[in-house]
Amino acid sequence: MTVLRCAADGPLLTTADDANDLIGEAWGAGATAVVLPVERLDERFFRLSTGFAGAFIGKFVNYRLVLVVVGDIAAHLERSEALRAFVAEANRGRQFWFAADAAEAETRLAQV
């Protein structure tokens, strides 16, 4: 599996259309998976009521690209029971999940 690993210091992703840019970059690199540091995601991603996370992730699902969000989201999880349930459900899947660190992401990617 070829993986596009995004830098943490890249531009903040604030719209679902920003997913299109990452998808295009992944395709250009021949990647079938994208590892995205949590620092790159706008705060709205973690407030599920905004719909941002669903729209953003949906684009990856539609194009059959694996998306892994990597980093510490504990503060977000503390504030939202809905987000905790969403993360638990996502982490049971094979196309999108959250990983605490790069090592966990690599382990999961090796299983896909």
Read out DSSP for 42-82?
A: -GGGG-GGGSHHHHHHHHHHHTT-EEEEES--HHHHHH-HH
How far, in Å, CA of 22 to CA of 60, rounded?
9
The CATH number of 3-110, from 3.40.50, 3.30.750, 3.30.420, 3.90.660, is 3.30.750
The whole-number pLDDT of residue 106 equals 94
What digits encode the pLDDT tens for the residues 14-65? Answer: 999 999 999 999 999 999 999 999 999 999 999 999 999 999 999 999 999 9
How far, in Å, CA of 54 to CA of 46, rounded?
10
The whole-number pLDDT of residue 1 equals 87
Q: Two tokens at 74?
A: 């504990």
